[in-house]
Each structure stands twice: as C-alpha cells, then as structure tokens.
Amino acid sequence: MPHTAQHIDETLIGQLQQILQDNLEKEHFGVSELAMTAGISRSNLHRKVHAYNGNSTSQFIREFRLKKAMEMLRSEELTVAEIAYRVGFSSPTYFNTCFKDYYGYPPGEAKLIEQYSSNEKNRRPEIFREKSRPFKPWVFGLIIALILVVSTSYFIRKSELESSVQSEYIHADKSIAVLPLKNWSGNPDLDYIGDGMTDAIITRLTKISSISQVTPFASVLQFKNSEKSANGIADELGVTHILEGNFQLSGDQIKIKLHLIDGRTNSHFWSEEYNGTWTSDDVFQIQANVVEYIAERMNVAIFDEEKAAVNKIPTQNREAYNYWLKARYQSLKYTKQGMENAVPLFEKAISLDSTFFEPYVDLAYLYLLGGASWGLYREQQAWSYAKELLLQVRKIDSSDHRVRTALNDGQYLYEWDFKTMEKNYKTASKFGIIYCMTMGRHSEALTRTNQVYEKIPHSAFYHAFKTQALFFLDRKEEASALMRASDHLYTDNIMYLRIASRYHYYLGEYDQSEELLNILMSDFPDRPPLVVFLNAIHRNRHGDVVGARKYLNELNKRYEVGESGSPAWFTAMYYGVSGDRENTFKWLQNSYNKHETEMIWLREEPFLRPYRSDQRYQDLYKKVGFPIPPYVD
C-alpha cells in the first residue's frame, strides 16, 4: 500500500529528531547542518517542518532541545547549567530564557512542579470523598471571570502565532543577493571597503534562518562592474531580491546608499541612506541596521539568538578591522600574488587585536589552500602554520564551527586522516564533497553538490564539483554539457579554469582543455604544479618532445626544492598518461614520501586506472591509509 503524505512527513520528522539527538550537544548544529545531514535542501526542510506542525525549522530544533532538557531535569541529578550544555546551549542564561518562554516557568522549578503535580493527583480521591460544601455565588463569578481572562489571552496569543506562522510560511522561500557596493569615493584604492562591507552584510544575513538563500560573496563578485539589470541578475542567480548600492568615504565620514529591489519585477521595495564615522562603531551598527531592515522589508522573522549574531561587533579596534578588510580583498582573488599580499595584512590585524576571531580563521584557510596548491610554503610547513592559528583562535571561541571545520579539513588534506573526516564529512565544508569523491561515493557527492547548487547555482566551485561527480558517475555527456555551458562564465576564475581544463582532458576534449589552459597562461601569472603538468601533457600530445621535457623538468625542480602543490604527484601523472609504468610508480613513491596532498586522489585518479592491479599500487594504497579496499580491475 502506498504511503500517505502524512505518513511520509512523520517518517521524516522521526529522522530529523534522530539526527538532532545524535548532535544534541553541538551548539552550532542548526538549520543548514540539519538539512545537509538529512539530505534535503534548506528551503524544502522549512516547508516540510511547517507543513507538519506549523513551526519554522529553527523553532523545531529549539523545541526539541528544550523537551530533551525537560526530560533530563525530571530524571537526572544535574545542574541547570550542565543540562544547558548537554542540549546544545552555550549560555545557561539564554537557556533559562528560552525554557521559561516555552514552559512558562524557569528550569530550576521543573522538578518541584513535577512533584507538586504528582502530589495533587494522589490527593484528588480524598478531595472527592469530602462532604459537599455550601454553594458560594462569588466563587462562581470568580471562576467565570478567570475563564474569560484565560480564553481571551489564549485566542489573542493563538491569533498572533497563526499570523506569525502564516507570514513565515508565505515568505519561506525568500532569497537575496547583495551586489558589491560601488565605490563613489573617487579613489580606487578604497575598493576593498565596498567589498568588505558587502561581505559583512552577506555574512550577517546568513544568520537569519528564515531567509532561504543568501548568495555567497564569491558568487556576486562577477557582477561587480556588470551593466545587467537587477532583475536580470536576480534571474541568473535564482533569487527574489537584490540589494545594490554605493558608498562614499571622505576623511572619517562614510555614507552608504542602498536600494532593495524586487528581482521579479525590477521595482524598488525601499531606498535608504546611512551616515556614520568609519573609525567608530557606526560601521558595525550600519551593517546590523541594514540587515534588520532588509529582513523587515522581506517580511521574515529574526529570532533572538539570530538578532544577537546580526548585531555582534567583531572587534573594537577599527585599525585591525581595516587591515582585515584589505587582507580579505587580496585573498579572495585566489591568486598567488593576492595570497602573498594578504598574509602580512592578516598578521597585522591579529597583532592589533589578538581577540579578533576572523583574521585567524581566514589566514589559516589561506595557508591550507596556499600550501595545497600555490607554492606559497612547503606543504607540511603550511599546515603547521594553519594548525597553530586554529589552536590559538580556539581559545577565543572553542564553539565556533569554522575552527572545527578548518582543523578537520587540514587533518584530511595534510595528515590523510580519513577516520576523522568519515565522522565529520556530512557537516564539513566543500572538502566533505571532495572526500566523497576520493572515496568513490560519487552519487552522494552529486547529491550534496546539488543541495548547495540549488542555493548558489552560479558558484564556480560547485559547477566544478558537479562536473567531477558526473564524470565519475560515467555521465560524461552531462559533465561535458555542464562545462561547455559554464566555461565562458568563469574565464576570470582561476580555480574553475584549473579544474575544467583538467576534466576536459579526461573527457578527451583536448581542444577545449587547451583553450582554457591558454586563458590561464595569458591572464594569470600563477604557475602551480597542476598548470605546469597540463602544459606538459598538451606539449606531449602535439609531439613537442622538447616543450614537454621543459615543463617536466620544471616539475622536477619544484619537487627538489620541496615546493607545495604536489609536484611529484603531477610528475607521476605525466608518466601515467605516457604509459611509463616504472616512472609512474617512482614518482608516486616520491609523492608519498613528501606526504603530498594530492595522494588523497590515489583511489579515483583516472590516469592511474591502468595501474590499479600492480602490487606497488596496492602497497601505496594501504600505506596512505584508505579505510576501504582499492578497486580490483
């Protein structure tokens, strides 16, 4: 017999409750993490939960935690603070507030009220056996008055709740893209301020769970100097709202003009001007005011804990904040030069305010990426720098999920810690998707990529990830079509060009691969080992032995000096393509000896398929530490 819709909802709710139970103590396990673990989109999760009981997902999570807290209060000898931490609240004070709002009394009284209720039940038979007492009219009047008061209060509260829920349901799929603020200051050196303010507004908007999609900063950068209309951009990004504007900085005075636009009709919801002092807390207050006003105009709710996050001041040191903005501006170029420029700026921000959380995490990720790809530092040196930063910032806020995620990513990339990633990959960053692909879980990788792709359909990263997943699933025509539709969109994105050029080659689309490689060579000065390798195999394909040897020698030199970016691995890949078995394994062994990050691809690398049955491959596979057996061809 087919399941009813209601039964399906109840089954899903049971699954969600089990996921929450498994992650009960994790304070930052919220809406996004629940959706990711459950394998459905965030907006779909909102609709399912609301259809089931009229709640938002964040309410559903909070009420589950509070109900578990009540069970503990009644059955366990724990303090209120201990229980607060056990059900995922980092602040016992905030837990007390939420508990009282939900149950009507503080958690400290839960056990007393339970005992009182139990005693009343036990006494009730004796009351019923008492002799009847004379009727008193004033008692009857008092009872009627109380009933009227309670009934009126109930219906008012019920109406408020229904109105709130209805409003939230109607606007459950609201989404927004914040375009980079235009610099009208007349000084191009101040562009970093516009990008920094845009990124800050986007970050604060992501704290509001009722907004179904906030386009990431990296995805809106492509429209920084675009002449497209707002509704054209909204259609391309798949959002319902666009925020655009400009800023002017004169001395210490900053002026920001913003316009919220209906992406479907191109009509203005509102326009507003904000004025403040760049060297004061006005900057953070402006950001918070903008976000709260956007939420109001989009008719979405902000819960108390979300409002606190929106209004959080990252640092009291304005000079440190300025250095951090400049560093972010440089690092988000994703070029070697940009990263080299960013490092001292991040370090300066930290030296000015050692409690400023953001530059620690951003600099750690710069080392993780730079060490894996760009030749900034030797790989293990880069991981050592990143790990030290993350352990320092954990002392500032041990509960922040970005620290745990970065440590998890670093352990996977640089220590080949498959065991830890296996436990955490479902709530990890983009490396969780990479982990699925390196372990042969290509359907899961595609599912997880599609979940993100639904929210940010124009992310270069997730275009590339989707291409990879489709390729490994042997859906090669789809992978090819996706790249051909995307290649022209991301000619200015070095990360996309590197991956797409490689996968066009895997697909036998050599001309397209070489075309993207030529863009890389002409528009970007960076020559990481992957780019050197791509040049070598294309020279070899054209029969240019001298040219191929030149690039191969370049890889060898980089290996000798200990450069990052896995030069030994890509030398092995060159010989793998060429069919030179002995040199393939010689350089794979060198890659293993240097603990290069690309070794995590040993299981799935297409160029190594002809070598999987070789005992040397089996031995390396075992030493790297994969938790599952290798392919047997």
Q: Which of 79-88, 200-209, 321-330 has the lowest mean pLDDT?
A: 79-88
pLDDT at 161: 35
Contact 312, 292 (CB under 8 A): no
Task: Give the CA diameter of the chain.
Answer: 114
Place of tokens 């800023």: 247
What number of other Cβ atoms are within 10 A of residue 589's Cβ? 16
Q: Give the best-scoring range by mean pLDDT among 18-27, 143-152, 361-370, 531-540.
A: 531-540
Question: What confidence tier does 455 reach under pLDDT thresholds 50, 70, 90?
Answer: low
Pairing assessment for the beta strands 253-262 and 241-250 based on DSSP bridges: antiparallel
pLDDT at 373: 81
pLDDT at 168: 36
pLDDT at 302: 85
- How large is the average pLDDT for residues 139-165? 40
Residue 163 or residue 545, greater confidence: 545
- How large is the average pLDDT for residues 57-69? 86
In angstroms, the CA 298 to CA 240 distance is: 10
In angstroms, the CA 464 to CA 499 distance is: 7
pLDDT at 582: 97
- How large is the average pLDDT for residues 137-166? 40
Residue 275 or residue 78, greater confidence: 275
In angstroms, the CA 55 to CA 611 distance is: 55
The token pair at 32 is: 């996004």
Question: What confidence tier does 133 reach under pLDDT thresholds 50, 70, 90?
Answer: very low
The token pair at 142 is: 């008092």
CA angle centred on 133, ends 127 and 139, rounded to 5°: 95
pLDDT at 205: 93
Burial group, residue 593, by CB count within 10 angstroms (0-12, 13-18, 19+): exposed
The token pair at 393 is: 């910032």
**DSSP per residue, 131-157:** PP----HHHHHHHHHHHHHHHHHHHHH
Q: Report whether pLDDT(57) > 90.
A: no
Question: What confidence tier does 464 reach under pLDDT thresholds 50, 70, 90?
Answer: confident
- State the virtual CA torsion across 205, 321, 181, 364 in degrees, nearest 10: -70
Query: pLDDT tens-digit profile of 350-395?
Result: 999 999 999 999 999 999 988 888 767 889 999 999 999 999 999 9
pLDDT at 143: 40
pLDDT at 543: 96
Return mean pLDDT, the chain: 84
What number of other Cβ atoms are within 10 A of residue 605's Cβ? 20
In angstroms, the CA 220 to CA 199 distance is: 10
DSSP-derived letter for residue 280 is S
Query: pLDDT tens-digit profile of 181-198?
Result: 999 988 888 999 999 999
Question: Residue 622 in 3-state DSSP?
Answer: helix
DSSP-derived letter for residue 179 is P
Say how many CA atoms lie within 13 Å of 461 toward its Cβ: 14
Residue 309 or residue 144, greater confidence: 309
In angstroms, the CA 530 to CA 211 distance is: 39
Q: Give the best-scoring range by mean pLDDT among 38-42, 226-230, 231-235, 470-474.
A: 470-474
Query: pLDDT tens-digit profile of 249-297?
Result: 998 899 999 999 988 888 888 888 888 888 778 889 889 989 998 888 8
Looking at the DSSP assignment, which residues form a beta bridge with residue 245? 258
Contacts 24+ apart (CB under 8 A), 182-185: 182/245, 182/246, 182/247, 183/246, 183/247, 184/246, 184/247, 184/248, 185/247, 185/248, 185/249, 185/250
Contact 366, 346 (CB under 8 A): yes
The token pair at 483 is: 């790249």
Burial group, residue 385, by CB count within 10 angstroms (0-12, 13-18, 19+): buried
- How large is the average pLDDT for residues 31-58? 77
